[in-house]
Structure 1
Amino acid sequence: MPMTDFVLQRVALLLLLGAWWFVSSGCQSTYYAALEQLGYHKRDLLVTRVKDARDSQEEAKEQFKSALEKFGDVLQFDGGALEDKYNELKAELDRSESSASAVHNRIEAVENVSEALFQEWEGELAQYTNENLRRDSARQLNAARKRYTSLMRSMKRAESKIAPVLSAFRDQVLYLKHNLNAQAIASLQGELTSIETNIDALIREMETAIAEADAFIKALGSS
């Protein structure tokens, strides 16, 4: 059965997306040019990647809430198979680390396409023959850059809160692994408040970053 142009385009897109992970930054212009041939422009990619980054932070926020609840459950341990509790907490740690990695990768993806978009936009300003249109486009570019800078600052500030939380979780999980007994649980009790404080700060920063992402998407879509 012959493949339609639509199917061929989608196959080509999948190949391009797969190849992107293996190309150097010097090949980014070729990558984006190929995508544009398929109708995927940098502006649309930027919106999509900001949405992905926002969603990854939302998922990470919920995952760290879940990990905190599980840590609290372990501290309430009053009998039974302590190793099972350790395994549950270790699983939460693994999911949290995966969420942290997703947040980092998606922020990086936003940075890649935004750099390409803004460079192209700035370079094309010289192509205008109408000075009024050129000035208006330059004004829009500056406004978009300011919104983007604010967004990245917020997202990276939220991301920076992840490392201390993960470090604390790793320590507690490792300590529990090495000391599968009731005394180990008692020793971890004092860490709960510190972890709660760190996660609360993380969640606040992520909620701020998520709101910034929503505002950026709305502004870019309406400009």
Structure 2
Amino acid sequence: MNYLQMLFLSLIFSLSACSSIYYSGLEKIGIPKREVMVYRVEKARDTQEETKEQFKSALDQFTAVTNFKGGDLEATYNKLNREYEASVNKADEVKQRIRDIEDVSEALFSEWENELTQYSSATLKRSSQNKLNQTKIQYKQLITAMKRAESKIKPILAVFKDQVMFMKHNLNAQAIASLKTELGSIKTDVSNLIAAMEKSINEANAFIKTMEK
């Protein structure tokens, strides 16, 4: 994929449209569904990397609040709230990236299966069918890992939200104590999320290699 194709794909990446028309338009400028899928998996992988780092940053800020020794507690709350909001944004982005992959995978596999009926060579048809079966298996592993990682985000955000709201209305030692109580479980949950994200990222890299063969 050349630079202009990549630029075009980047510009329309988030646009919603009738899938058949959308993908047909891309193919007319030389971008097949296969390349769109690889591109979207790469974007999802990169977003998961960013999300992993964001939740680490949020955890660091929550930990810092529990070590608050005096000063401007409202400023500390504002930092915590910004980390929470950034985490929410990344969670939404992860969800959308997964949807984008599912959309193009459906179009790609449907096209592939339809083209299998058009072979006159039994040998080539069998080879293509085997490749499709293998790709589907690896895709299932990929999307399962991504969804498993994504499912771990919501419970963490719920705890983050509770603590941020409580601190908003209780800028005092009681809010700090509440955070200290939750910190252990937050650390465990974030650690589990990061592990799931890393597994998902590895699956994405493996899938990309398969698609590029």
Quickly name the TM-score band, shorter chain normalised: over 0.9
Shift of 1:19: 8.8
Shift of 1:186: 1.6
Equivalents in 2 of 1:198, 1:49: separation in Å? Answer: 27
**Amino acid in the other structure paired with 1:20:** L
- Which residue pairs with 1:188 in the alignment? 179
- Which residue pairs with 2:208 in the alignment? 217
**Amino acid in the other structure paired with 1:105:** Q
Calculate percent identity across the aligned residue pairs: 51
Contact kept in structure 2, 1:20 and 1:31, CA below 8 Å: no
- Which residue pairs with 2:154 in the alignment? 163
- Which residue pairs with 2:88 in the alignment? 97
**Amino acid in the other structure paired with 1:17:** I
- Which residue pairs with 1:173 in the alignment? 164
User: Among residues 27, 32, 41, which one is paired with 1:36 in the alignment?
Assistant: 27
Shift of 1:17: 2.1
- Which residue pairs with 2:79 in the alignment? 88
Contact kept in structure 1, 2:163 and 2:178, CA below 8 Å: no
Equivalents in 2 of 1:69, 1:142: separation in Å? Answer: 44
**Amino acid in the other structure paired with 2:78:** N
Equivalents in 2 of 1:100, 1:188: separation in Å? Answer: 22
Provide TM-score, normalisation by structure 2.
0.94
Provide TM-score, normalisation by structure 1.
0.90
Taking only aligned residues, the RMSD between alpha carbons, in angstroms, comes to 2.0
Structure 1, unpaired ranges of 5+: 1-5
Structure 2, unpaired ranges of 5+: none
**Amino acid in the other structure paired with 2:192:** A
- Please tell me whether residue 67 in structure 1 is matched to residue 62 in structure 2: no
Matches within 5 A, 1:110-189: 110-189=101-180
Stretch moving more, 87-96 or 183-192: 183-192
Shift of 1:219: 1.1
- Please tell me whether residue 20 in structure 1 is matched to residue 15 in structure 2: yes
Which structure has the bigger radius of gyration?
Answer: 1
**Amino acid in the other structure paired with 2:203:** E
Q: Deviations over 1:149-175 (max 9, x none)?
A: 000000000000000010010000001
Q: Deviations over 1:7-65 (max 9, x none)?
A: 8x899x57x827932x3xxx211110111001111000000000000011110000000
Contact kept in structure 2, 1:83 and 1:180, CA below 8 Å: yes
- Which residue pairs with 1:3 in the alignment? none
Equivalents in 2 of 1:212, 1:123: separation in Å? Answer: 27
Equivalents in 2 of 1:220, 1:32: separation in Å? Answer: 18
- Point out 4+ residue stretches in structure 1 off by more than 3 angstroms: none
Equivalents in 2 of 1:178, 1:75: separation in Å? Answer: 17
